[in-house]
Amino acid sequence: MGASKKESVEVNKKEEEENKNRKKTQPTKKEKLSTEESLLHKKQEDRAKNYKGFSEDDASEDFKSVEKSEAGDSESSGDEGFHNTSSNEGLANESQSEDSEPDQGGEESDSSEDEVAPRNTVGDVPLEWYRDEKHIGYDITGKKLKKKERQDKLDSFLANVDNSKNWRKIYDEYNDEDVEVTNEETKLIRRMLKGKAPHGDFDLYAVLGLVRAIRKGLIKFDKPKEEPRFYMLWGDDASSSEKTGHLSYIPAPKPNLPGHEESYNPSLEYIPTQEEINSYQLMDEEDRPKFIPKRFMSLRSIPAYENAVKDSFERCLDLYLCPRVHKKRINIDPESLKPKLPSRKDLKPYPATCYLEYKGHKDAVMSISTETSGHWIASGSSDGTVRLWEVETCRCIKVWEFGEVVQYVAWNPLPELPVLAVSVGQDVFLLNTGLGNEETQRKVKELLHVATSTALDDSGNKVSAWSWLQDDKHEGIRLQHFKTVYSVEWHLFHPTRSIFFVSTKKNVRVYDLLKQKLIKKLETGLREVSSISVHPAGDNVIVGSRDGKLCWFDMDLSSKPYKVLKCHPKDITNVAFHRSYPLFASCSDDCTAYVFHGMVYSDLNQNPLIVPLEILRGHAISNGRGVLDCKFHPRQPWLFTAGADSLIKLYCH
Amino acid sequence: MVARKKPSTMVARKKHYRPPGKKKEGNASRYVTRSQAIKQLQVTLGFFRRLSILKGIFPREPKKKFKGNNHTYYHVKDIAFLQHEPLLDKFRDIRAYQKKIKKAEAKKNADLATLLRTREPTYKLDRLVRERYPKFVDALRDLDDCLTMVHLFAALPAVERAKIDVELIHNCRRLSHEWQAYVCRTYKLRKVFISVKGIYYQAEIEGQKITWLTPHAMQQVLPDDVNFSVMLTFLEFYETLLGFVNFRLYHSLNVKYPPILDPKLEALASDLYALSRYIVSNTRTSTLEPKAASSSPSEQLEAKEKEMQADESELRLAQLQHQLPSNEPGALMHLMEGAECENEDDQDTKECKRLFKNMKFFLSREVPRESLLFVIPAFGGVVSWDGEAAPYKEADQSISHQIVDRPTQGHRYLSREYIQPQWIYDCINAWIILPTEAYMVGRIPPPHLSPFVDNDAEGYVPDYAETIKRLQAAARNEVLPMPGVGKEDLDDPQNLLVEGYISRAEASEAAQTKKKMVTLEKQYHEELQSELQGAVMKKSKQGSTEHAKASEESVPDPKQIAEDIETMSKLGMSRKKRGLLEAIEKRKERNTARISKLKERKKKLKSSEN
């Protein structure tokens, strides 16, 4: 600021002097002014730019030169002095209030003089040095510029008095010539004297705006220092180890590395044949291989990969759109997943191999039953016969013909009364098997004659009305129902207590017969219960279902299954517990029978141990049915299975 | 009051009811959906996307998706993190400023608009880089995507409609070259693989394996269904990241980072070569510098000045050397050796450095120059190419290998071998010098195998991988000083290759026929024996037909037994474990199916050959 003030003062001085010289001025060239004006216009257009270029030093220099050029004339103008003082004062005041304005004026005057070079090239030397010389200096080519002949002072005075335009003339000592001030120049000077900007089209307010902008720092002349774009970002890694209180960063998984097949020249076996490529078209969109290997004979023949940008874009999408989760990739040994069970060898004996086959039936064997002693089995078949077999010799001892499908056969659990119950169509027959000694035979005959027994444990018959008939042909009793006997609902008795199990389609209901109350409802969660068996101890029940699942219920534990074994792909037709060995079995329409070790401990804290032991195969499928029934031998760990292929098999250990 | 309270208490008994104004609990309080987040931040979707890309914020998976499956969930803390980001304000400012410019333009105030344009606010991402990667190693770990993207954009054409301008592409080119120059100079490159998609490189820096893909040097097609603004946002961050990473890496070599390149070489588009020269020359000066720097603090200023001078003089020197008759190998070799001595490398690096030592390569016009110029020096080779500013010309007698990729080679120098470029890559992946027979001009080279596959784990080993393995073993033996090994053994690898490649099929076939013979013999013997015992057997059979039948049926084959055991062991498993096991088995099955398919194809190929 100080510098600019000083300048303004200098300008004032200059103006003063000019003012004094006004009357003494001489004519000047017009070109000078025209150039000056054109420049001025240009300047106002890009003032902002000129601001940058403007430097205070050369401005002040120019002022000095102007001062000097007019110094010579200053002496002769004494009379007009008082005239100017008042205006001068006003000017000073104004210039103090707005010190930017003369700044502007000064700049313009200086640049115009730059444009027209002085003819004299002596430079900034005191002109006194040339006072006694004949020349005033040198022109640009180095030739001496001769001084004009000095007019007599008197003559000049007289000439000035006569000339009306004398006041326009100014003597330029440096170039030794008279300059005439034009009208425009006088206007300019007049405006300056009034304290205004020298040029008419000068917009003061625009300048003020710029000045303000500069003061506020909105316009900057020096370019901001270019900071280095990159620097040592990770200078000391030790200091950066402090934890930010932020969530853990989950790095994105890296893209898969390419395999052999992605090579430009893969082994031939990696390239699919044309048929295989065609078969890809038939595949589902998801299964279709995304990349089809191709072979190029040389490096130069590889084309641009058409999906390069797209792949990259998809990776970008994955990076910012896919939710990321920390996932532990565990390398599990599949063996470790399998539960640790006691080895099967320790759990012997159990039925493992087919030992005997009982042949004779013509059609599927629907049901079998073992006699309590284990010497005999009876089987009912859909060919309408019931056969009695000797277990050890596979000899068929007796055949009863019914002519209708035999649904179910059952032995009397009492060994002293070898009576067989058979359900055929709508009827139930009680048959005298003719086994045992005479004593028992007599008893049996007596019983069947009297025909009052109701304690027969036969298959479930929902009996609404029945009639007893003596059946001579089969030597037994015939219970005639009016409806077909189904095996829809199963019921069993608890082996030791007076508890009664009834199975509905989905649940098993447990009743106390003494209190005549529902004790428990076992929720199987199966689609349809097909068979049920009670553990000889009475606290565990297994239920087989039509969807191939086997449920083990521990009645003390809960009403939900203790374990569900999904072992068969098809319906389970029957399940059975062994009477004395810790074994149970299930048979199914998929022609297999599973044998399990099912150990129940007397210690209530210990859960029952269930170990699958063996899968028994051998039956063939016929009419979509496989094994229809299975029963354990009452004493030995043997299993009888009845198949739809009209065979009965005995599996022994 | 009382009347009001009553229903609320009644309702509060309901499960999951949250009275208004009460804080949320559980996942709903910890996660927000994207639209919620946008609402909270008061930004547009595009804005949010940009910010989350730059900040590296990603969606997370809540345990329970409270708004349904088709929402994106962000963690509340992540969103709070975004909310406190200064960049958010900065972006808002920028947007406001853009509006100003728009307004000025709309009012036809061109002066103001240009003035405003000159002073547009800018932002920097360096703080974000530091924030996302607090340690340098972290940055290296995440560099894969960055490098792939930068290399891709370096190969893209400038497209105005996608706002990909020339400056961006040049910057990408520069960054990628700088990176390559570093990797090349420090011999950190480990694996190279030419795939159909491009060339994969793998380098190992500070223990981090960094893999990146460069597209083939072809004109890339820009698809229409790609949102370039997303990619450009990523690229913006990646450029900054790679710049800082490069700075740090160059700094570790004592090289000034934004490298000043020889303008002549740069003009010839051999930036990589120019860069490597720059690095080499700079490291040489810097090895001398530490003495000066350590002397005294007052002298450091002087040292700095000296450094500046040295830089300039080095550059001039490089230029001068360049103008020297270029088939003077001494200067270049000297430079390389001088640079080598100062750092102690790990074993791998040493081995890599040695691979192409004492070999001199020359690239023909048609080979991919950029890749080979990067790869060969990274393994200690010296390379030149056909063109201006090349260090030596084709006529140089000391050239040992010329890399050619054309069906026939016209004029041949007897002193050198003409090979296809694949030889270089295969040598690199095998870490030995492979015999060149199979890679001669005009031949179809042997299959190019991926170095990223662990063949043994995969379960299928391609033939050529096996031959390479044998060659490697042979090379190792060769290195060991064994007294018994003569010249014949040295020739061995070449023989091995030929033999291995051609006669492997025969060998396996022979083995198979042998097996067949053995089984046939056994059968014959058995038959003989059965004939001898024939009579006895028949009798016994007749006697116990039923039993025998039963026993025959009941004895299942061992496969069946194994299967049974499998199914039975599965019976006792819980559903979760069973699922896991089944998944494992499925995967195994898929793998074996794949491998068996490969084997089958191979068999077919062989049969069709014969």
Q: Which two tokens stand for residue B529?
A: 């024996």
Give the pairing of strands A476-481 and A427-432. Answer: antiparallel
A-proximal residues of B, 39-58, CB under 8 Å: 49, 52-53, 56, 58
Please give the structure tokens belonging to residue B492.
Answer: 């061995």
| B149 contacts A312? CB cut-off 8 A | yes
Report the gap between the CA of B326 and the closest CA in chain A (Å). Answer: 28
Statement to judge: residues A69 and A197 lie in one domain: yes
Minimum mean pLDDT range among A29-43, A213-227, B228-242: A29-43
Residue A252 inside a domain? The answer is no
Domain-located, residue A88 = yes
- Is position A189 within any domain? yes
Q: Which of B499, B525, B551 is the last residue of a domain?
A: B525
- Examine the fold and report which residue of A436, A455, A481 is the final residue of a domain before the chain moves on: A481
Instruction: Inspect the interface and report whether the beta carbons of A252 and B145 lie closer than 8 Å.
Output: yes
Residue with tokens 């640049």: A111
Choosing from A427, A462, A481, the residue where a domain stops is A481
CB contact under 8 A, B546 and A249: no
Is residue B350 within 8 A of residue B362, CB to CB? The reply is no
* CA pair distance A505, A531, nearest whole angstrom: 10
Domain CATH number, residue A579:
2.130.10.10
Residue B73 lies in a domain: no
Query: With contacts defined as CB-CB under 8 Å, which chain B residues touch A302?
Result: 194, 196, 216
**Which residue from A minimizes the CA distance to B449?**
A260
Say if residues B247 and B130 touch (Cβ distance below 8 Å): no
Q: Do A313 and B139 touch (CB under 8 A)?
A: no
Taking CB atoms and an 8 Å limit, are A263 and B366 in contact across chains?
A: no
DSSP string, A84-111: HHHHHHHHHHHHHH-THHHHHHHHHHHH
From chain B, the residues in CB contact with A566 under 8 A are 571
| Residue A389 is assigned to a structural domain of this protein | yes
B195 φ, ψ to 5°? -110, 180
State the number of CA atoms in the 13 A half-sphere of A44 facing the CB.
15
Residue B132's CB is within 10 A of a number of other CB atoms, namely 18
Q: How many CB pairs under 8 A join A and B?
A: 270
- Residue B451 DSSP code: T
| Cα B472 to Cα B470: distance, rounded to the nearest angstrom | 5
Is the overall model pTM greater than 0.95, yes or no? no
Please answer yes or no on whether A305 and B56 come within 8 Å at the CB atom. Answer: no
Q: Please count the structural domains in chain B.
A: 2
pLDDT tens digit sequence for B489-543: 444 444 444 444 444 445 555 556 666 666 666 666 666 565 555 544 444 444 4
Q: Is B562 on the interface with A (CB under 8 A)?
A: no
Average pLDDT score over residue span A343-347 = 80
Identify whether B167 is part of a domain.
Answer: yes
- The three state secondary structure string of B76-144 is HHHHHHHHCCHHHHHHHHHHHHHHHHHHHHHCCCHHHHHHHHHCCCCCCCHHHHHHHCCCHHHHHHCHH
| pLDDT for residue A284 is more than 80 | yes
**Does the residue B59 lie in any domain?**
no
A594 φ/ψ angles, rounded to the nearest 5 degrees: -100, 140
| More confident position, B22 or A55 | B22
Residue at B507 is within a domain: yes
Residues 411-470 of B with CB under 8 A from A: 420-422, 444-445, 447-450, 452-453, 462-464
| Residue B54's pLDDT band (cuts 50, 70, 90) | very high
Interstrand relation of A563-566 and A177-180 (parallel, antiparallel or unpaired): unpaired
Question: In this structure, are A513 and A566 located in the same domain?
Answer: yes
Closest CA of chain A from B130, distance in Å: 7
Is there a contact between B196 and A302 if contact means CB atoms under 8 Å apart?
Answer: yes
Quick check: A596 and A610 in contact, CB under 8 A? yes
Measure the CA–CA gap between A361 and A409, rounded to whole angstroms.
Answer: 15
pLDDT tens string A133-144: 888 888 888 888
Choose the final residue of a domain: A436, A461, A481.
Answer: A481
Given a cut of 60, is residue B297 above it in pLDDT?
Answer: no
Buried b (16+ CB within 10 A) or exposed e, A149-167: eeeeeeeeeeeeeeeeebb
CA distance B314 to B320: 9
Q: Letter for the amino acid at A431?
A: L
Task: Please indicate, yes or no, whether residues A424 and A467 belong to a single structural domain of this protein.
Answer: yes
Whole-number Cα distances in Å, B102 to A420, A471, A489: 105, 112, 86
pLDDT at res. B167 = 93
Between residues 477 and 536 of chain B, which touch chain A (CB distance below 8 Å)? none
Q: What is the mean pLDDT of residues A129-155?
A: 81
Minimum-distance CB partner of B142 among A251, A257, A321 = A251
B193:A323 CB<8 A:
no
Query: What residues of chain B lie within 8 A of the CB of A322, using their CB?
Result: 58-59
Return the bridge partners of A651, or none.
A354, A639
Instruction: Tell whether A513 and A460 lie within a shared domain.
Output: no
d(CA B85, CA B53) in angstroms, rounded, equals: 13
Which spans in B480-574 are helix H? 487-543, 545-554, 558-571
Q: Over range A520-531, report the average pLDDT.
A: 86
Give the range of the structural domain holding residue A544, as residue numbers without chain letter: 490-618+640-652
Among candidates B222, B247, B421 on the partner chain, residue whose Cβ is nearest the Cβ of A299: B421
Tell me, yes or no, whether B186 lies in a domain.
yes
Measured CA to CA, the distance from residue A450 to residue A434 in angstroms comes to 17
Q: Is residue A230 part of a domain?
A: no
In a domain, B584, yes or no: no
pLDDT band at A390 (very low <50, low <70, confident <90, very high): confident
Could you tell me if A426 and A515 lie in one domain? no
- Do A576 and A448 share a structural domain? no
Q: Is residue A526 part of a domain?
A: yes
Burial per residue of B297-332, b for 16 or more beta-carbon CB atoms within 10 angstroms, e otherwise: eeeeeebeebbeebbeebbeebeebbeeebbeeeeb
Residue B486: DSSP 8-state: -
| Shortest CA gap B533–chain A (Å) | 26
A251 in a structural domain: no
Pair (A9, A65) in one structural domain: yes
Give the whole-angstrom CA distance, residue B172 versus residue B231.
13
Last residue of some domain: B491, B525, B559? B525
Task: Please indicate whether, in this complex, the C-beta atoms of A265 and B598 are within 8 angstroms of each other.
Answer: no
The answer to whether residue B347 is domain-embedded is no
Structural domain includes residue A141 = no
In chain B, residues with a C-beta closer than 8 Å to the C-beta of A614 are 564
CA torsion sign for B574, B578, B581, B583 is negative
Closest-CA distance, B247 to chain A, in angstroms, reads 7
Local structure of residue A517 (DSSP, 8 states): E
The answer to whether B437 and B456 are in contact (CB under 8 A) is: no
**Same domain flag for A392 and A459:** yes
- Residue closest to A615 by CA, chosen among B582, B562, B577: B562
Asked if residue B197 is part of any domain, the answer here is: yes
Q: What is the ipTM of this complex?
A: 0.77
Burial class (CB within 10 angstroms; exposed 0-12, middle 13-18, buried 19+) of B252: middle
Residue to test with chain B: of A218, A242, A262, A299, most B Cβ within 10 A: A299
Last residue of a domain, one of B483, B509, B525: B525
pLDDT in tens, A12-28: 444 445 544 444 444 44
Nearest-angstrom CA–CA distance, B25 and B45 = 27
Q: Which of A258-272, A370-384, B519-533 has the lowest mean pLDDT?
A: B519-533
Looking at the fold, whether A542 and A523 belong to one and the same domain comes out as: yes
Distance from C-alpha of A116 to C-alpha of B540, rounded to nearest angstrom: 141
Q: Are residues A472 and A498 in the same domain?
A: no
Q: How many domains does chain A have?
A: 3
Q: Which domain holds residue B470?
A: 453-525
Query: Is the pLDDT assigned to residue A488 strictly greater than 60?
Result: no
Assess whether pLDDT exceeds 90 at residue B242: yes
Q: Which two tokens stand for residue B338?
A: 């001088």
Planar angle of CA B522, B525, B529, nearest 5 degrees: 140
* Residue B571: closest C-alpha in chain A: A565
Of A249, A263, A296, the CB nearest to B449: A263
Shortest CA distance from A567: residue in chain B: B571
**In which band, very low, low, confident or very high, does the pLDDT at A175 lie, cut at 50, 70 and 90?**
confident
Query: Across the interface, which of B59, B73, B75 has its CB nearest the CB of A247?
Result: B75
* Residue A218 Cα, gap to closest chain B Cα (Å): 9
The 10 Å Cβ neighbour count of residue A283 is 10
A503 and A470 fall within a common domain:
no
Residue A308 has pLDDT above 80, yes or no: yes
Residue A60's alpha-carbon distances to A55, A121, A527, in angstroms, are: 9, 20, 109
The Cα B306–Cα A207 span in angstroms is: 48
Domain shared by A457 and A578, yes or no: no
Amino acid identity at A120: N
Query: CB A262 to CB B567 under 8 A?
Result: no
Q: Chain B residue closest to A230 (CA)?
A: B244
Q: Is A26 helix (H, G, I), strand (E, B) or coil?
A: strand
State the Cα torsion B215-B216-B221-B226 to the nearest 10°.
Answer: -10
CB A433 within 8 A of CB A374: no
Q: pLDDT: is B406 or A97 the higher one?
A: B406
Residue of B nearest to A267 (CA): B447
Q: Do the beta carbons of residue A348 and residue B266 sit within 8 Å?
A: no
| Confidence at residue A480, expressed as pLDDT on a 0 to 100 scale | 54
Name residues whose C-beta falls within 8 Å of residue A613's C-beta, 6 or more positions apart in sequence.
A344, A347, A350, A352, A583, A595, A596, A597, B568
Which residue in B571, B573, B591 has the most chain A C-beta atoms within 10 A of its own C-beta, making it the best mutation to test that interface?
A: B571
Place of tokens 């190693």: B137
Using the Cβ of B236 and the Cβ atoms of chain A, whether some distance falls under 8 Å is answered with no
What does the alpha-carbon distance between residue A246 and residue B81 come to, in Å, rounded to a whole number? 8
Highest mean pLDDT among A411-415, B32-36, B313-317, B549-553: B32-36
